[in-house]
Structure 1
Amino acid sequence: MDRLVYTAATGLKHIMDQQATTSHNLANVSTTGFRAQIDAFRAVPLQGEGVGLPTRTFVVSSTVGADMSSGPLQVTGRDLDVAVKGQGWIAVQLADGSEAYTRNGALEMNTNGVLTTANGNVIMGDGGPITIPPDTTVTIGGDGTVSAISTTTQPATPTPLGRIKLVNPTAQDLVRGDDGLFRLKDGSPAPVDPNVVVAGGALEGSNVNAIDSMVDMISLARSFDMQMKLLQNTENNEAKASQLLALG
C-alpha cells in the first residue's frame, strides 16, 4: 500500500514538472534558434537507514537535456541576420567576461557600433568584438566573416571587419543556463570550428513542434488523472480495511 502512495505522489509531482517544461517549449515555438527542453524520469527504490525492505519507490529526474535538432531556416533578407546551417553555435561574451553560445542570429549594433545579440551580449570575433563603421552596409559570409561596404565611397569594395567565432562542442558537454544560453559544463571556452557554416540574411526558427507539444500536454494531463485515481483507490482500500478491523 505504501509503495503505491510513494510512487503515485512523486509521479504527480514530476508530471507537473514535465507539464511545465512542455508549456515552456510551447511558449517558445516562435523564438529564434530555441532548443526544446527534454525531461526524463525513472522510478527508484527509497534508500536510507530505517527503511528496511525496499517497499517504497519514488520518481526522480534521470536526464534533463535539450533537443539539438535544427529548426527551419527562414529567409529574412536583413543584413545582420545570420543562421547556423547544421551543427554549430555562435559564441557571445557575457557581461562578466565569460563565454556562452546561442543559435539566435538576429544580430544588432549597439550605440558604439559593436555587433551584439538582441539581448545586448557582444558577438565574439577572431580578434575581439566586431565593430561596424558608420555609413556602411554589412554582409556576412558563409564562414562567418563580417564585411562592410561603404555607402559614400565609389567604387565601394568590401572591407573585412572580423569573423564571428563559430564553435561546435558535443551536445553532452553543453548545459543550458537560466538565460537560455548554452555553456560548456566545465566553464572553459570552446575552440573555433572552421567547418561550421552560416547563412546570411536568414534566421533559424525554433525546433519545437507545436502539434507534438499539444499532444504531450494532453497525454500528461491524462497521466496526472490516472495517478490521482490511484491515490483515491488507495484511500478507499484503507477505509474498507479499517471497517473490517473494526468489525473484528
Structure 2
Amino acid sequence: MDRLIYTAMTGARHVMEQQATVSNNLANATTNGFRAQLDSFRAVPVMSDGLPTRAFVVDSTVGSNFAAGPMQTTGRSLDIAIREQGWLAVQSADGSEAYTRNGSLRVNENGLLQTTSGQTLIGDGGPIAVPPDTNITIASDGTVSTVSTEFQPGPSNVLGRLKLVNPPTAGLLRGDDGLFRQADGTPAQNDPLVRIVDGVIEGSNVNPVDSMVNMISLARQFDMQMSLLKNAENNAAKATQILALG
C-alpha cells in the first residue's frame, strides 16, 4: 500500500511544480526576448534491504529553450534584436553583470541607456550616458551614436559600444529576475562577431498553443495521481474492515 502512496504523492507534487513552470512560460508569452523554461520527470527507485519496488518521481530541470523568438519590425530606433546567437550585457539590481535578449531600449530620467525593464546596458567603458536633445542610432556592431537635434545637420557623436557577448548556453543559469548569468559568476568576454539589427524586436520563444496543451495534460496527470491516492485510502479502509472481522 505504501508503494502506491509514495509514487502518487511524489508524482502529484512534481506535476504541480511543472504546472508552475508552464504557467510562468505562458505569463511571459509576450515578453520580449524571453526564453522558455524546460522541465522533465524521471523515476528513481528507492533502494532498501528488500526488493526495489518503490519509486520516487524526480523533477529533472533541463534548463531553458535557447531557440530564437520571432522577429517583429517596429521601425523604432531604440528597438534592437540580436542576430542569431548572442546576448546584451546589462547591470542587474545587485550591480552584477547579467545577460538578456530584450532589445526594447529607452533613455531614463538620468540619461542612461536602459532596457524597458529598467536594467542599465553595459558598454565598453561602463553604462552609456545619452545627452539630451539628440537622436540615437545603434550600428550593427553595437556602436551607439547620437546626432544633435539643435543643428541641421548635426555632427555625429559616438558615445560608446554596447557589450555584446556569446557565452556557451550550457554555462548559463537563469536568475529569479529572469536574467541569465554564467554559472561560475565571471563576466563573459565581449564577442566582436555578435551583430544586432535596429528597428526590430525579438519576441518570446514560448508557443502559447503548446503551453496550453501541456497545461491540460498536466492537469489530467494531477487528477490521475489524486485518484491513485483515493484508491489507496479505499483499499486501506477495506483492509481494516477485513482485519476487524477476523
TM-score bin, normalised by smaller chain: over 0.9
Per-residue CA distance 1:6-44 (angstroms, 9 max, x = gap): 111010011011111111111111111111111112121
State how 1:129-140 maps to structure 2 within 5 Å: 129-140=127-138
Partner amino acid for 2:236? Answer: E
**How far is 1:116 from its partner?**
1.4
**How far is 1:64 from its partner?**
4.2
Per-residue CA distance 1:34-64 (angstroms, 9 max, x = gap): 11111112121335xxx53333321222224
**How far is 1:73 from its partner?**
0.7
Q: Distance in 1 between matches of 2:110 and 2:245?
A: 85
Partner amino acid for 2:235? Answer: N
Q: Distance in 1 between matches of 2:43 and 2:206?
A: 27
Q: Who is 1:34 aligned against?
A: 34
Partner amino acid for 1:124? Answer: I
Per-residue CA distance 1:82-111 (angstroms, 9 max, x = gap): 111211110012343310001111111122
Q: Who is 1:172 aligned against?
A: 170
| Gapped regions of structure 1 (runs ≥ 5) | none
Residue 139 of structure 1 aligns to a residue in which SS? strand
Let me know the Cα RMSD of the aligned residues. Answer: 1.6
Q: Does 1:106 align with 2:109?
A: no
Per-residue CA distance 1:171-229 (angstroms, 9 max, x = gap): 11111111111111111000111121111112111111110011001100111111111
Contact 1:90 1:166 in 2 (8 A): yes
TM-score, scaled to structure 2? 0.93
Q: Who is 2:13 aligned against?
A: 13
Contact 1:140 1:200 in 2 (8 A): yes
Partner amino acid for 1:17? Answer: E
Contact 1:44 1:57 in 2 (8 A): yes
Alignment CA distance shift 1:238-1:96 (3 Å): closer
State how 1:200-215 maps to structure 2 within 5 Å: 200-215=198-213
TM-score, scaled to structure 1? 0.92
Q: Distance in 2 between matches of 1:64 and 1:120?
A: 29
Residue 44 of structure 2 aligns to a residue in which SS? strand
Partner amino acid for 2:231? Answer: N
Contact 1:2 1:55 in 2 (8 A): no
Partner amino acid for 1:218? Answer: I
Contact 1:83 1:200 in 2 (8 A): yes
Q: Who is 2:23 aligned against?
A: 23
State how 1:1-248 maps to structure 2 within 5 Å: 1-46=1-46, 51-53=48-50, 54-248=52-246
Tell me which moved more, 155-164 or 237-246. Answer: 237-246
Partner amino acid for 1:31? Answer: T
Alignment CA distance shift 1:136-1:43 (3 Å): same
Q: Distance in 1 between matches of 2:141 and 2:32?
A: 20
Residue 162 of structure 1 aligns to a residue in which SS? strand
Q: Distance in 1 between matches of 2:211 and 2:236?
A: 38
Partner amino acid for 1:195? Answer: L
**How far is 1:244 from its partner?**
3.2
Partner amino acid for 2:21? Answer: T
| Gapped regions of structure 2 (runs ≥ 5) | none
Partner amino acid for 2:145? Answer: S
Contact 1:123 1:129 in 2 (8 A): yes
Q: Distance in 1 between matches of 2:5 and 2:203?
A: 43
